[in-house]
């Protein structure tokens, strides 16, 4: 280990509203890795991201980002929150949306200079979103909105990207396009990427390692090491079968596919979830 | 001597135009952000809470204007502090605003001499503004706009990308408390022109129309101010010509401008 880990987690426990989410996990993510973060709804993917961003203090243990302790507002981390929280009625241009994040935490007037314009042109180019810049957010499709959020996560030249469910509500073709785009940007900018998803299969060809969360535990490793019956049975707390068909992997519990079940479950949750 | 008569005769008009110009500026700016943040109903509720403050102040021998300012301003800060707990709680907000109107009525019941001013409080009477009110209006307006200018950058960030803003160190609750507090002040100003019940027309009408016509923030703010000024000046002009209530003329122009904005695209 000559290089410092991009993210180093030691004996980390996280609670949310008193409930334990992650229990004593340890892992090291090397610089430049593309990590698929998997697990059912509530397994702690978003919570882990928010802890890395410094928004949730660890109950115990430690997280280090690029060798330094976690700090809120760390400019080295780019973050893509879940797209469903983006106000779909927003009658503002995509460019205004991106600009608002340019040193948006500072007090004062919303005057963004040439430096901001240049930075925004650059991230629009990187995420192939130039043609979206002058369109209102309310008129963008799901895939276009996702590209805009990817562009946003690149603002400020981060070294690490935390992408929270960028594939949600996209059709398979758009999912592949999104993964391909993220992979390409990651290589170009030498980024470490944590990419959370409900389903493993779309990511199979792109990820370096997989981080699987379940029942407070975490397993990090190559797909062949982690997506196995013994490891997943432990994470789910039930007997799991792993079946590979035509290079696609199906995770089954009592004969039903788990990935799909998690997805349906997720939609149920959406009904009660309103964000203003 | 003739000039003297003209001055006396049109003095009220000067006061009305000056007062409504001050208020339109603040209302249009604050309103733009209320629309951007989907908090228009909260704005409506704050004016009703202010009504209880205004009548309560009269009951204890204070000026209704300061009661209104204090109540809607403090209620705004509290609403911001409750934040997510109130988001989407239209019924809870509706109950609070009805209760406030009810309380206002109770206070009036104990202080019957004030009833004559009730219509002005509820529906506004811009032509009856006391010239001595211009100075406090201007001071509160200046304070509100200066604070909004300081707040505007993180406010836009927090409104458009709340989770990212939070990750970058912006306190969403702090921003919300400050902004809704300022909204309370803006609402108290607007109530001086169109009255509590019609605050929506001055606060939200121009801003909503502006947001339909441009997808950029600074031009949107400018347009919102232009619409608000046009509504106020036009409304006062129409009222003088027709002798109809000014507040009616302003609401009619507000609806007209918003109606036209719907035809764009």
| Dist. CA A9–CA A64, nearest whole Å | 6
The predicted-structure confidence for B199-226, as pLDDT tens digits, reads as follows 999 999 999 999 999 999 999 999 999 9
Q: Which residue has the tokens 């604050």?
A: B30
Angle at A174 between CA A168 and CA A179, to 5 degrees: 80
What confidence score (pLDDT) does residue A40 get? 83
B197 DSSP 8-state letter: G
* Nearest residue to A32 via CA among A194, A178, A181, A175: A194
Could you write out the DSSP letters of every residue in B103-157? HHHHHHHH-GGGGGGHHHHHH--GGG--GGGHHHHHHHHHHHHHHHHHHHHHHHH
Among the partner residues A54, A89, A104, nearest to B154 by beta-carbon distance: A104
| Dist. CA A59–CA A22, nearest whole Å | 9
φ, ψ dihedrals at A191, nearest 5°: -95, 150
Q: Is A104 on the interface with B (CB under 8 A)?
A: yes
B113 within domain boundaries? yes
What confidence score (pLDDT) does residue B61 get? 87
What confidence score (pLDDT) does residue A1 get? 46
| Dist. CA B187–CA B181, nearest whole Å | 10
Q: Which residue has the tokens 């505007």?
A: B152
Classify residue A188 as exposed, middle or buried by CB count within 10 Å of its CB (0-12, 13-18, 19+): exposed
- Residue B27 belongs to domain spanning: 18-199
Residue of B nearest to A75 (CA): B168
Its sign, for the CA torsion A266, A269, A270, A273, is negative
> What is the ipTM score, two decimals?
0.88
Query: What's the domain count of chain B?
Result: 1
What confidence score (pLDDT) does residue B114 get? 63
Lowest mean pLDDT of B79-83, B151-155, B188-192, name the range.
B79-83
* Nearest residue to A72 via CA among B156, B171, B150, B84: B171
What confidence score (pLDDT) does residue B119 get? 82
Among the partner residues A77, A105, A276, nearest to B170 by beta-carbon distance: A105
Structure tokens at A52: 């890395």
What confidence score (pLDDT) does residue A238 get? 84
Cα(first)–Cα(last) distance of chain B, in Å? Answer: 55
How many CB pairs below 8 Å do chains A and B form together? 99
Could you write out the DSSP letters of every residue in A263-275? HHHHHHHHHT---
Chain A residues whose CB is inside 8 A of the B216 CB are 92-93, 96
Structure tokens at A96: 């205004």
B219 within domain boundaries? no
Chain A residues whose CB is inside 8 A of the B87 CB are 274-276
What confidence score (pLDDT) does residue A95 get? 95
What confidence score (pLDDT) does residue A148 get? 92
Structure tokens at B62: 């204070």
Over chain B, what is the mean pLDDT? 90
| Dist. CA B234–CA B137, nearest whole Å | 21
What confidence score (pLDDT) does residue A265 get? 38
Q: Over range B116-134, report the average pLDDT.
A: 86
B26 within domain boundaries? yes
Q: Where are the domains of chain A?
A: 92-156
pLDDT > 50? residue B231: yes
B141 within domain boundaries? yes
φ, ψ dihedrals at B240, nearest 5°: -65, -40
What confidence score (pLDDT) does residue B1 get? 46
CA distances from A271 to A84, A202, A266, A275 (A): 12, 26, 9, 11
CB contact under 8 A, A104 and B168: yes
What confidence score (pLDDT) does residue B111 get? 79
CB contact under 8 A, A81 and B161: yes
Helix H, strand E, coil C: the string for B6-56 is HHHHHHHHHHHHHHHHHHHHHHHHHHHHHHHCCCHHHHHHHHHHHHHHHHH
Chain B residues whose CB is inside 8 A of the A105 CB are 154, 157, 165, 168-170
CB contact under 8 A, B216 and A92: yes
Q: Which residue has the tokens 């809704």?
A: B180
| Dist. CA A219–CA A227, nearest whole Å | 9
> Distance from CA of residue B147 to its chain's centroid?
16
Q: Which residue has the tokens 């370096």?
A: A208
Beta pairing, strands A160-163 & A192-196? parallel
SS3 content of chain B, % helix, strand, coil (to 5): 90, 0, 10
The predicted-structure confidence for A23-55, as pLDDT tens digits, reads as follows 999 999 999 999 999 988 888 999 999 999 999
> Nearest CA to CA, how far is B207 from chain A (Å)?
12
Beta pairing, strands A60-65 & A7-16? antiparallel
| Dist. CA A267–CA A81, nearest whole Å | 17
What confidence score (pLDDT) does residue B44 get? 87
Q: Is A138 within 8 Å of A104 (Cβ atoms)?
A: no
- pLDDT one digit per residue (tens) for chain A, 276 residues: 457 899 999 999 999 888 899 999 999 999 999 999 998 888 899 999 999 999 999 999 999 999 999 999 999 999 999 866 677 788 899 999 999 999 999 999 998 889 999 999 999 999 999 999 999 999 998 889 999 999 999 999 999 999 999 998 889 999 999 999 999 999 999 999 999 998 899 999 899 999 999 989 999 999 989 998 889 888 888 888 888 888 888 888 876 776 544 443 333 333 333 333
What confidence score (pLDDT) does residue B95 get? 84
Whole-model pTM? 0.90
Lowest mean pLDDT of A15-24, B107-116, B173-182, name the range.
B107-116
Q: Over range B67-96, report the average pLDDT.
A: 84
Give the rounded percent of residues in chain B with a pLDDT score beyond 70.
93
The predicted-structure confidence for B11-53, as pLDDT tens digits, reads as follows 889 999 999 999 999 999 999 999 999 888 888 889 989 999 9
What is the per-residue burial (b if ≥16 Cβ within 10 Å, else e) of A249-262? bbbbbeeeebbeeb
What confidence score (pLDDT) does residue A260 get? 43
What confidence score (pLDDT) does residue A183 get? 95
B155 within domain boundaries? yes
């Amino acid at each position: 280990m000559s290089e410092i880990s991009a993210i180093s987690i030691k004996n980390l426990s996280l609670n949310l509203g008193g409930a334990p989410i992650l229990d004593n996990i340890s892992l090291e993510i090397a610089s430049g890795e593309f990590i698929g973060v998997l697990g059912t709804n509530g397994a702690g993917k978003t919570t882990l991201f928010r802890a890395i961003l410094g928004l949730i203090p660890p109950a115990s243990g430690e997280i280090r980002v690029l060798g330094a302790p976690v700090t809120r507002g760390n400019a080295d981390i780019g973050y893509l929150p879940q797209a469903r929280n983006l106000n779909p009625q927003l009658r503002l241009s995509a460019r205004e949306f991106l600009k608002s994040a340019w040193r948006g935490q500072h007090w004062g007037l919303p005057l963004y200079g040439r430096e901001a314009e240049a930075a925004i042109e650059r991230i629009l180019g990187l995420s192939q979103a130039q043609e979206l810049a002058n369109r209102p957010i309310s008129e963008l499709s799901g895939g276009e909105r996702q590209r805009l959020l990817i562009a946003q996560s690149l603002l400020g030249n981060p070294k690490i990207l935390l992408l929270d469910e960028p594939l949600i509500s996209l059709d398979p073709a758009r999912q592949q396009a999104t993964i391909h785009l993220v992979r390409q940007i990651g290589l170009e900018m030498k980024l470490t990427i944590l990419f959370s998803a409900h389903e493993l299969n779309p990511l199979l060809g792109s990820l370096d390692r997989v981080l699987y969360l379940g029942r407070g535990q975490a397993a990090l490793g190559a797909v062949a090491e982690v997506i196995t019956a013994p490891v997943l049975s432990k994470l789910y707390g039930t007997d799991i079968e792993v079946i590979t068909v035509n290079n696609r992997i199906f995770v089954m519990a009592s004969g039903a596919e788990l990935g799909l079940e998690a997805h349906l479950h997720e939609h149920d949750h959406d009904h009660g979830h309103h964000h203003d | 001597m003739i000039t003297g008569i003209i001055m006396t005769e049109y003095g009220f008009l000067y006061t009305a135009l000056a007062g409504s110009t001050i208020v339109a500026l603040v209302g249009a700016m604050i309103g733009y952000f209320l629309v951007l943040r989907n908090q228009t109903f909260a704005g409506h509720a704050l004016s009703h809470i202010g009504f209880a403050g205004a009548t309560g102040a009269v009951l204890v021998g204070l000026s209704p204007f300061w009661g209104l300012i204090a109540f809607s301003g403090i209620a705004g800060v509290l609403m911001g502090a409750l934040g997510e707990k109130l988001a989407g709680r239209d019924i809870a907000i509706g109950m609070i605003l009805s209760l406030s109107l009810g309380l206002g009525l109770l206070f009036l019941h104990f202080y019957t001499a004030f009833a004559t001013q009730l219509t002005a409080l509820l529906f506004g009477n811009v032509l009856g503004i006391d010239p001595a009110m211009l100075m406090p209006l201007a001071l509160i307006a200046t304070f509100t706009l200066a604070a909004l200018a300081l707040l505007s950058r993180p406010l836009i960030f927090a409104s458009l990308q709340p989770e990212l803003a939070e990750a970058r160190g912006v306190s969403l609750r702090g921003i919300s408390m400050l902004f809704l507090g300022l909204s309370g002040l803006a609402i108290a100003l607007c109530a001086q022109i169109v009255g509590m019940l019609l605050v929506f027309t001055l606060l939200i009408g121009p801003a909503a129309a502006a947001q339909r016509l441009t997808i950029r923030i600074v031009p949107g703010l400018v347009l919102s101010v232009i619409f608000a000024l046009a509504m106020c000046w036009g409304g006062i002009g129409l009222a003088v010509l027709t002798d109809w209530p000014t507040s009616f003329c302003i609401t009619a122009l507000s609806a007209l401008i918003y109606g036209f904005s719907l035809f764009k695209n």
